[in-house]
Structure 1
Amino acid sequence: MKTTHAALAEKFIADEPRTDWHDETLWFVREKRDKAAHGLPEWEQLREWGSQIKNHTLSNLYNYLKEFEEKAVANGIKVHWAADGDEHNKIIHEIIRKHNIQKIVKSKSMLTEECHLNEYLQEHGIEVVDTDLGERIVQFRKEPPSHIVLPAIHLKKEDVSATFHEHLGTEKGNNDPQYLTEAARQHLRDKFVQSQLAITGVNFAVAETGGFVVCTNEGNADMGAHTAPVHIACMGFEKIIPKAEHLSVFLRLLARSATGQPITTYSSHFHKPRPNQEMHIVLVDNGRSRQLGREDFRNSLKCIRCAACFNTCPVYRRSGGHSYHTAVAGPIGSILNPNLDMKANADLPFASTLCGSCTNVCPVKINIHEQLWKWRQVIAAEGYVATSKKIGMKGMDFLLSKPKVYRFAGKMGRWMIRIVPFVVNNKLNVWYKQREMPEPPKESFRDWYLKNGKTNKK
């Protein structure tokens, strides 16, 4: 089966109870976000500040990245620049070879997922242990994360129990979350103690200080960075912010938008290596410069990876993260990934209702649904739209631009659904596959209005 969003979503929704559970679980997280946001009278002001700080930073990116590098080097951090994912992976591999490192722990980092670091190192015979609980679960299952904040949200506790029984030898059929979490804790504690290298992501990097912040709820980034003699932080260059005082805005926005928490459990600040430790930071472009130069899409680089747009999106909630076939799924992924490979990801901007809910919840005011709409135009102009969609859109253009043809088609459609429903209610109708067709109205709104509109006017 072709790996398009539609094809992969069809596989996910074949399990209807799981689809319903996935939808309800993510909406629960969205409701927590709403309660947290509405509890702050200054919430909209924080969003505006966050948006403006990011706008300013993107407009002065060169200066702030240069300042960050100078301050970080002065602090004793070794700074590397990577043009793309392959260069990022080679830099990390070289550090590993230089120190003859065998044991590596990694906290959650969507950039390393984007660059396929795990797969690269495995191809070179190097094992990496993901230490975020959700990431470790999907790593055991040889699956990519399905969500950027909740990597294993597509799995139930029964799935986790079976996975841990297979890989950690836990009691078969014991689905108790506390028991399973303790098993993971014991398993990972040994990995932390033995580690020679800790790899982390970066949530925010501060130009003013040359330091960076990593946010986790499990403390796993701290455990790795504070134990291993070498620490490598991997960062997309859009994570830069100008001053330390700006952190207060983003830290208040991030956790509330992501999980409905007032703040992440651990907001860890790194400014320099501890004695006898070596600290590196890898700043990665990987298409970000190109996106920065796209006027219609540069706003997407403001993203702080909270996944609020995932949790509200009716398409993501009902199709699952793996249907997006990329490291960053959901609405934000659908405007970032065509920039990386337009042809391979041409389907993603169409995986949206354009309802605008994603834009409504974005903590830094990215116009996500407008960018999805604009990507559709770019992709169509570049010729990456399926022939069937081209024909369908031309047909709709003809139909909707000719009122008489439109009215005749409406009458025929209502007649067919009422008299010969099997013509519509069959497997050839993609809409019918997962839905019940509505009962046809006896007349169109226009016909009703012509008969009743004038008499009902006051």
Structure 2
Amino acid sequence: MSGAPAEATSFKDRADAALADRILKVAVERTAGTAEAKRAVAVDAFPDFQAARTRAAAIKDHVVAHLGHYLEQFEANAVAAGAKVHWARTADEACDIVIALCKAAKARSVARSKSMLGEEIGLPHALAEAGIGRVETDLAEHIIQLANERPSHIIWPAMHKTREQVSALFKAKHRTPHEEETIAAMAESARRELRTQMLGADVGISGANFLIADTGAICTVTNEGNAELSLVPPRVHIVTAGIEKIVPSMPHAVHMLRMLARSATGAALTQYTTFYTGPRRPGDRDGPEEMHIVLVDNGRTRMREEGLAEMLRCIRCGACMNHCVVFRQIGGHAYGGTYPGPMGAVLTPVLDGLKQSRDLPNACTMNGKCQEVCPVRIPLPTLLRGWREKSWREGLEPQSLRAGLGLWAWVATRPRLYRMGTSMAVRAMRRLGSKGWISKLPLAGGWTRYRDMPKPAAQTFMDQYRKENGR
């Protein structure tokens, strides 16, 4: 079960609301469009990028195939370095472990570095229910916390907000808000608000971008240095990580880091890439007194067993959603789960159940752009088709849809009838068109409500084919 609160509305209702929000479209396009352009430049400058993708996929496939071996190796090396390793089968178990550790440390406040696994298991809500204060140290997560919203992107959680909206939020919520309407002034306002809370927290909580099996180290990647400030000063550091985050060794981690940064932000390497191996040792100048690592399954073993092992390659770069034509129109919140975009459409049925999320795989246009840009070559369209087929087999599709597709199949298997029908439809659509576009079309209101449909050519493809073939 996803840790995010349940959505009261359907995917279609959320998508309708998103499509009607003009400010949302501007905010999403600003960030996703920039990310797409920067990634293209970074990839062009990367020698043999396609070979690097193939190697990255092979590394992840090898780890997933031998997951038990590498998890045991990681646990042994992490414990040898002084960390304590905990295992959680479900989201609830993971939250219970973290809350128990916080209470054992008599924590009144925790500083949390951005972690999608934390969002997945519902950790922010668990901390609130336990009465433990939480400060989000990532700037975008800080914005989300102030607005009492959920992340809309796995790299830029507040991508759905414009700079103007963030400015208004800071002025309403910060104790000493900015006066100048500049990005630098807003960042300084957040720094004043967060720095004391980060340094005064009793416990620091993070995720992990990678877990290094042969050393027991964890790796975090940030652009702001917030992880270092929120994880080193507290007495206790708690890591929550999915079991698929394992890589065999440091060289493997470095290769994955090169793929992650370029695919996520278009940079050669993220500004802050830090490796933690155990708590503070004698002679260390800083570091936590205790380090706990909570390894979370939450459906990952089941994914490996049920034909979704390729999804366990995912390194959470966000490239698939930055290039997705659906995400670029509706943003992340419309998906309703922890993870948006194409990767979310695959993962949410695992976390929340296919019955509750069957609309997500069906929302995909199957244009294949997500697979084309994925740094670990996840066949996302194939996995989404798998969910569609399962939804059909289990009878989850509405009866009206099943009847409509049955009628279409009956007509489509009768070529003469099909060609006659398409010819009539083309003529009718051309009559409804004006200046090359159709603004309203019966039975296609879901399309024409938000965009015009191109006026079809005067002849169908088959008519044109016969004409050319006759020549």
Q: TM-score band (shorter)?
A: over 0.9
Distance 1:425 1:195 in 2: 58
Q: 2:408 aligns with which of 392, 396, 408?
A: 396
Deviation at 1:403, TM superposition (A): 1.3
Match of 1:324 in 2: 335
Question: Greater shift after overlay, 27-36 or 13-22?
Answer: 13-22
Once the 2 structures are TM-superposed, how far is the Cα of residue 427 of structure 1 from its aligned partner? 8.4
* Aligned equivalent of 1:31: 37
Code of the residue aligned with 1:237 in structure 2: it is I
> Is residue 422 of structure 2 the alignment partner of residue 410 of structure 1?
yes
Query: Equivalent residue of 2:354, what SS?
Result: coil
Q: Is the 8 A contact 2:346 2:380 kept in 1?
A: yes
Unaligned runs of 5+ in 2: 1-6, 282-287
Query: Please, which of 328, 332, 346 is the counterpart of residue 335 of structure 1?
Result: 346
2:178·2:189 contact (CA, 8 Å) conserved in 1?
Answer: no
Report the counterpart of residue 293 of structure 1 in structure 2: 305
- Given candidates 83, 89, 93, the residue that maps to 2:89 is 83
Q: State the distance in 2 between where 1:381 and 1:309 align.
A: 27
Counterpart for residue 454 of structure 2: 438
Question: Partner residue of 1:450?
Answer: 466
Give the Cα–Cα distance (whole angstroms) in 1 for the partners of residues 108 and 401 of structure 2: 51
Change (3 A) 1:423 1:274: closer
**Is 1:376 matched with 2:392?**
no
**Equivalent pair of 1:146/1:321 in contact (CA under 8 Å):** yes
**1:173 positional shift:** 8.0
TM-score by length of 2: 0.92
The worse-fitting range, judged by mean Cα deviation, of 435-444 and 31-40 is: 435-444
Deviations 1:263-306 (A, max 9, x none): 011111000101461100000000001001022x1100010000
The one-letter amino acid paired with 2:170 is: F
1:96 deviates by 1.3
- Match runs of 1:95-244 below 5 Å: 95-169=101-175, 174-244=180-250
Unaligned 5+ residue runs, structure 1?
none
Query: SS of the counterpart of 1:76?
Result: coil
For 1:419 and 1:348, the matched residues in 2 are separated by 34
Assess if the C-alpha contact under 8 Å between 1:162 and 1:173 holds in 2.
no
CA contact (8 A) 1:399 1:405 kept: yes
Question: Does residue 1:259 correspond to 2:265, yes or no?
Answer: yes
* Counterparts in 2 of 1:223 and 1:172: CA distance versus 1, 3 Å: closer
* Cα distance in 2 between the residues matched to 1:442 and 1:63: 63
Paired with 2:116 and 2:24, the residues of 1 have a C-alpha distance of 25
Question: What letter corresponds to residue 147 of structure 1 in structure 2?
Answer: H
Distance 1:448 1:244 in 2: 59
> Could you say which residue in structure 1 is the equivalent of 2:4?
none
Deviation of 1:416 (Å): 2.6
Tell me if the contact between 2:135 and 2:198 (Cα under 8 Å) persists in the aligned partners.
no
Find the counterpart in structure 2 of residue 271 from structure 1.
277
Shift in Å at residue 65 of structure 1? 0.3
Find the aligned partners of 1:405 and 1:424 in 2 and give their Cα distance.
26
1:335 to partner: Cα distance = 0.9
CA contact (8 A) 2:346 2:383 kept: yes
- For this pair of structures, how many residues does the alignment match? 454
Deviation at residue 207 of structure 1 after TM alignment? 0.8
**2:316 maps to what in 1?**
305
Q: What secondary structure sits across from 2:424 in the alignment?
A: helix
Specify which of 354, 359, 362 is matched with residue 347 of structure 1.
359
| Corresponding residue SS for 2:295 | strand
Give the C-alpha shift of residue 392 in structure 1. Answer: 2.8
Aligned equivalents of 1:272, 1:259: Cα separation in 2: 29
Return the offset for 1:369.
Answer: 1.3
Q: What's the Cα RMSD here?
A: 1.9
Aligned equivalents of 1:386 and 1:316: distance in 2? 24
442-451 or 370-379: bigger deviation: 442-451
Contact 1:105 1:224 in 2 (8 A): yes
Please say if residues 439 and 452 of structure 2, whose CA atoms lie closer than 8 Å, have aligned partners that are also in contact: no
Q: 1:41 aligns with which of 36, 40, 47?
A: 47
Deviates more, 1:88-97 or 1:403-412: 403-412
Q: Which amino acid aligns with 1:320?
A: G
- Aligned mates of 1:172, 1:105 — CA distance in 2: 23
C-alpha distance in structure 2 between counterparts of 1:420 and 1:12, whole Å: 28
- Structure 2 distance, partners of 1:173, 1:15, is 28
- Three-state SS of the structure 2 residue aligned to 1:344 is helix
Structure-1 separation of matches of 2:165 and 2:32: 18
Q: Is the 8 A contact 1:161 1:174 kept in 2?
A: no
Query: 442-451 vs 30-39, which deviates more?
Result: 442-451
Deviation of 1:368 after TM superposition, in Å, equals 1.0
2:219 touches 2:275 (CA, 8 Å); kept in 1?
A: yes
SS in 2 for 1:192: helix
Q: Retained in 2: the 8 A contact 1:108–1:132?
A: yes
**More displaced 10-residue stretch of structure 1: 73-82 or 418-427:** 418-427
Q: Structure 1's 323 and 65: CA in aligned 2 closer, same or farther, altered over 3 A?
A: same
Partner AA of 1:113 in structure 2: E
Asked whether the 8 Å contact 2:440–2:449 carries over to 1, the reply is no
